[in-house]
Amino acid sequence: MPTHRFTVNVPNPTAKRTSVELRLEPANFDELIGLTPELPKEELKVLNVGIVLDPCKVRTKPNLKISLKPYTSTDVYVVVNTDRSIKRGVAAFNLIDRRDDKDVGGVLLMVVSPKYVEPPGQVINPKNPCPLGLADRMYVILPLADPSRAAKIKNILLEMTLELVVPITNPTEKPLKGAQAYLEHLGGSSVEYMPGTWNIGELAPGDVFYATWTIRTKAWHAPIFHPCVVVSSEKTDPIRLNGTAKIPRPKRIEQLDTEGKPVSPEYKSDQVIKKKL
């Protein structure tokens, strides 16, 4: 008899002792939207389910009443036993939390047999994608510099304002009206950015618009990051343009003074610190 165990926390974040009634209810398969195409269609045969406070205790009642002191929580254990003869299927329960005669919360618990195998991600294309695309790689420049020139930046500081440049072009043979672009995110990077949208307007065939967004490095940002920019134009579906940009690591630990200039590097520089050592 396969046994499936779940640990669920039951909290009392209030200043009063509270009584909690827990119960298990079979979940409606409609609640599993998104997973259902990949899940087995069959239902597992559940022999019994139980909620217990002691993980070693055997109990087959689908409800439990507990009392919690103020600002405490406890773990409860849900045990689901299924019939070994059915090898393939799904069983799902909602563990429902009832307090003061009201259902106040809960958790979905699901048993899947055989073990759920992650399906590979798919590419989901829109019906009418916006034709705008990247004219070149993405890069970073100093604020107010010419965005059409990717110049190497020296002296990256720990916290520094820069501009991300995304060259956007119209690769078609007709003008694209109502073109817009916004920065959705910078991937997993800790670099901060100012959100905003470029109202490009009409972009002629072959023209390149150099969209820029102000970004601010943080002390320990990763040098490589992966911006995602969304572009759109009239009568088309917006699309994501993904790229890679690079910010060199700071060579010295420097700080800015109140006027934005680097303070004396005498005792801020890694090299100087090493020499003193």
Binds other proteins (CB under 8 A): choice among 50, 64, 77, 97: 97
Query: Which lies closer to other proteins via its Cβ, residue 35 or residue 86?
Result: 35
Site residue total, other proteins (CB under 8 A): 79
- The CB-of-51 to other proteins minimum distance in angstroms stands at 11
A 10 A CB-CB count for 23 gives: 18
Query: Which lies closer to other proteins via its Cβ, residue 82 or residue 94?
Result: 94
Q: Provide the token pair at 8.
A: 């669920």
Q: Which of 148, 50, 40 is nearest to 93 (CA)?
A: 50
Q: Which residue has the tokens 């020296």?
A: 154
Q: Does 101 bind other proteins (CB under 8 A)?
A: no
Binding mask 140-159 for other proteins (x = CB under 8 A): ----x-xxx-----------
Q: Does 22 bind other proteins (CB under 8 A)?
A: yes
- The CB-of-211 to other proteins minimum distance in angstroms stands at 7
How many Å is the maximal CA-CA distance in the chain? 76
Q: Rounded to an integer, what is the distance from CA 204 to the centroid of its chain?
A: 36
Binds other proteins (CB under 8 A): choice among 202, 219, 235, 267: 202
Q: Which of 181, 184, 185 is nearest to 200 (CA)?
A: 181
Handedness of CA 43, 44, 47, 52 (dihedral sign): negative
A 10 A CB-CB count for 155 gives: 12
Q: Provide the token pair at 121.
A: 């991600």
Binding mask 24-43 for other proteins (x = CB under 8 A): -------x-xxx-x------
Q: Does 89 bind other proteins (CB under 8 A)?
A: no
Query: Which lies closer to other proteins via its Cβ, residue 156 or residue 229?
Result: 229
Handedness of CA 203, 209, 215, 221 (dihedral sign): positive
Residues 219-258 that bind other proteins (CB under 8 A): 228, 230, 237-240
Q: Does 189 bind other proteins (CB under 8 A)?
A: yes
Q: Does 118 bind other proteins (CB under 8 A)?
A: yes
